[in-house]
Every structure is written in C-alpha cells, then in structure tokens.
Amino acid sequence: MIRILARDLRLAVRAGGGFGLGLAFFLILTMLVPFGLGPETARLAGIAPGILWIGALLACLLSLDRIFALDREDGALDLLATAPVPLEGVALAKAGAHWLTTGLPLSFAAPGLAVLLGMPWPGHLWLCLSLLAGTPALSLIGTFGAALTVGLRRGGLLLSLLVLPLYVPTLIFGADAARRGAEGLAPGTPLMLLAALSLGCVAFLPFASAAALRVNLR
Amino acid sequence: MSFWSLANPARFMSLSARALPVLSVLSAICLIVGLVWGFFFTPDDYRQGSTVKIIYLHVPSALMAINGWLMMLVASLVWLIRRHHVSALVARAAAPVGVTMTLIALFTGAVWGQPMWGTWWAWDPRLTSFLILFLFYLGYMALWAAIEDPDTAADLTSVLCLVGSVFAVLSRYAVNFWNQGLHQGASLSLDKQKNVADVFYHPLLVSMAGFVLLFLALVLARARTEIRARRLHALRLRERMA
C-alpha cells in the first residue's frame, strides 16, 4: 500500500500536470469571483469561506478521472488487482495519493487566497482546518466515483453528475465551519461533524470502490 | 409458492400480466375518487383558501418519490445478495417513475409555495433535500444508460444506490443543520392524534392509495418492458451467432 502511494505520488510530481493543475485552477477560480460579483470588500469577505470551499471542491473534482483512468489504459490496474494487496487497500492508497496531491496543498493555499478575498483574520485558521478535515472525504468519494466510471470511455461528465450530489454534506459542514470561524462564532460542531464524515468515508468507501473496481475489471 | 419464485422471469411475467390490469384499474378508481372528492367536494381552508387542494397531488407524489428510492435500495440489495435479474430490472424500472414523482412534488410545491410563501422556491431543508434526491435519481439513471453490459450495469448501479442512500440520508440531516425552513412539519405521522382536519384527511388517504397503486402499476409495466427488451436482445445475439 505504501509503495502504491509512493508510486502515485512520484507519477503525479514527475509525469507533469497533475500536481500543480488543481492549485492553478483554484487560484483562477478565486480570481474570477470578484470579476463576477464586483470588488466590494465587504461583500467578498462575507462569501469568501463558501466560495473557497466550492473552489476546493471543484479543483478536487477536476483531477478525479486521473485516479484510475491512466492505470486502466496502460494495464497497471489489472496488475494491481492481482497483486497481494487487497483491492480495498489499493483504493485507499489511491485516495490517499489523490488527497496528498490535491486536498493537502489546497488546504494550505486557501488561507493565502482568503487574503485576496479580504476574509477577516481568525477565519483563515478555521478555513484551513475545515479543509484539512473535509478534503479526505472529497478524495474518497471521488475515488468511488472514479471506480464506478473507470470502464467508460467518456466518463468525465457522468463522473461529476454522480459525485457532486454525494459532495453535498461535506460542502455544507465545511463551508459552515469556515463561515462560523470567519464570523467569530464557535465552529466546533460542524468541524466535528465534518471530521466524522471523513472518518466514516475512510472506514466504508474503500469497500464500495473496491466492489466497483472488481465489477469493472471482470 | 415463496416470494423468491418471482425471481423466475417467466413466473414473474405471468403473474404480473394478471396483476397489472387489476392494479391499474384500482389505481384509476382511487385516483379519480380521491382527486374529484378532494378538488370539488371539500371546503376551502380558512387560511389558505382553495390552494390547499394541491395537497392531493403534492403529498402523495412526495411520498412516492422517497419510497421509490427505498424500493430501488431493497431491489438493489436483493440483486447484490441473491443475483435475481428481475430484481435489478425492477430497480431500473423504478428510477424513471421515481424521478417523475420527484418532479411532480417539486413542481406542485412551487405552485403551492408561490401564493402561500410569496416565492416559488426557497432554500429550505425539505425543498433542498428533494432537489438532491432528484439529482441522485438522474445520476443513477445516467449510470444505467452509460454501461453496455447489463450485468456490469446492474452491479455498478446497485453499489451506487447503496452509497447514494447513505449520502441521501446524510444530506437530509446536513441540510437541516444548514438552514431552518419555511416548510411546515410532516402533514401525516402516526404518533400524532390529529394531523389534518378530517374533511381533508379522508380524500388525501384515498389519493395516496391511488398514487401507491399507480406507482406499482407503472413499475410493473416498465419491468415487463425491460424483461421483454432483455429477451429481444438475447434473441438478436443468438441470431448473430448462428
């Protein structure tokens, strides 16, 4: 599992594109918001937590179809399926690699972008924390969606249709935690629910992903 | 005869051929009686006026939208555990009916909400979770449509249905947490003494029974079509082989 993780990380860094793309997308999306809504600081500061959460979610979504599609094309997925590691472990390692290359950098980039949107100070910490707690769930749900659509030739659009409704609870809790942090309220409850959601996803979704992979590799 | 003997498609076809006309006629009778009684022979509500009468479409369709998903969940579980093809096909047949019920509920809700709340749409927990349910139905149907091989499609959609159900419940509570709503509480529940005044209650029950029967009849009809399509497909394949 560790080796699969390391291999995916190496591929993401060296094979170009995958690693920085999500961050660049996140930056551009944040830049587009003031163009769309007008540059008044007060309004931007009010919606910044929600916008940054949606941006992180879309940046995650963008890189989902890379999780299994490349391995499927060059046959590595079949080798992984016959490897001594259970397929559940493969799915978990893949999700972990996806999180390390998108969720983790996004979490640390978000406070910097929050400055651009004029978010008040204590909110930055809570935004970062809420993203750290929530993005694992995004990666795991996305891995499940990618496993479902790996057998399809043009699964990208279908993938987003399947995955986005599943993202709803994560987005609600995450944006709520960040917003409460920014407004100086106690963000503890949504943050804990968010962490619970991520842990629940770690516990259960690899099995669903592995089941979908088995069906697709049959 | 046990319940599982229905898993034999031939048996299912012969039984559903007999059940379908009965269900259709019963559902038509219940719907006509319930709707006519509701629309023309109940007094106007003292606060809501005559708009209250849309309840005879709104509540039953919302009921069947949720129960339709529940039925798909049960059918998917049966397929995953016992591999009965009829079960997977029934789940597939139920999805378009369920999505139609969701649409009816959303639409009648908007029509009702406009005069009552002064808005067609509000980001209220109940409304929003219905919209999410609608998206789940769309994703489920899109996945069925996207996959060639029928067994693979049945497996993948069943897994999606299971995971989707968990997240649908989660979203329901998350959305509750997110915003407090405009929508009134449940119109009907078993633990309350009095839910809706009797004059509205009896025709509502009849019309709900009508919707349940209508749902069953439509699902049966669609399942029969699915089985016939599957047979046709098999015949074509055999022809090509020969």
DSSP B107-146: HHHHHHHHHHHS-S----HHHHHHHHHHHHHHHHHHHHHH
ipTM comes to 0.86
8 A C-beta contact, residue B71 and residue B42 = no
Measured between CA atoms, how close is A53 to chain B, in angstroms?
15
Side chain identity at A148, as an amino acid letter? Answer: L
Q: What is the DSSP letter of B1?
A: -
| B135/A161 CB distance under 8 A | yes
pLDDT of residue B142: 92
pLDDT of residue B147: 87
For B149, residues 6+ apart whose C-beta sits below 8 A from its C-beta are none
Least confident of A37-51, B78-92, B148-162: A37-51
- The DSSP line for chain A is -HHHHHHHHHHHHHSSSHHHHHHHHHHHHHHHHHHHH---HHHHHHHHHHHHHHHHHHHHHHTTTHHHHHHHHTTHHHHHHHSSS-HHHHHHHHHHHHIIIIIHHHHHHHHHHHHHTT--THHHHHHHHHHHHHHHHHHHHHHHHHHHHTT-TT-HHHHHHHHHHHTHHHHHHHHHHHHHHHTTS--HHHHHHHHHHHHHHHHHHHHHHHHHHHHHH-
* pTM for the predicted model, two decimal places: 0.88
Tens digits of per-residue pLDDT, B164-173? 999 988 888 8
Residue A26 near chain B (CB below 8 Å)? no
pLDDT of residue B209: 92
Where residue B90 falls among pLDDT bands split at 50, 70, 90? very high
In this prediction, residues B120-133 reach a mean pLDDT of: 85
Q: Which of B160, B162, B174 sits opposite A169 (nearest CB)?
A: B174
Tens digits of per-residue pLDDT, B188-220? 554 544 556 666 778 888 899 999 999 999 999
Tens digits of per-residue pLDDT, A117-175? 878 777 888 889 999 999 999 999 999 999 999 878 777 788 989 999 999 999 999 98
Which residue stretches of chain A have pLDDT < 70? 14-19
Please tell me the distance from the alpha carbon of residue A96 to that of residue A8, in angstroms, as a whole number. 9
Residue in A104, A22, A80 with CA at minimum distance from that of residue A55:
A22
For B89, residues 6+ apart whose C-beta sits below 8 A from its C-beta are B223, B226, B227, B230
Where residue B1 falls among pLDDT bands split at 50, 70, 90? low
Residue B143 near chain A (CB below 8 Å)? yes
Please tell me the distance from the alpha carbon of residue B5 to that of residue B22, in angstroms, as a whole number. 21
Which position has the higher pLDDT, A44 or B134? B134
Q: What tokens were used for A141?
A: 């749900």
Chain A residues near residue B162 by CB distance under 8 angstroms: 208
Please tell me the distance from the alpha carbon of residue B39 to that of residue B52, in angstroms, as a whole number. 9
pLDDT of residue A183: 82
Q: Which of A158, A168, A216 sits opposite B146 (nearest CB)?
A: A158
Residue B156 near chain A (CB below 8 Å)? yes
Please tell me the distance from the alpha carbon of residue B89 to that of residue B79, in angstroms, as a whole number. 9
Q: What tokens were used for A110?
A: 């978000």
Residue A166 near chain B (CB below 8 Å)? yes
**Within 10 Å of residue A5's Cβ, how many Cβ atoms?**
16
Q: Which of B142, B147, B175 sits opposite A161 (nearest CB)?
A: B142
| A165/B132 CB distance under 8 A | yes
Residue B131 near chain A (CB below 8 Å)? no
Where residue B137 falls among pLDDT bands split at 50, 70, 90? very high
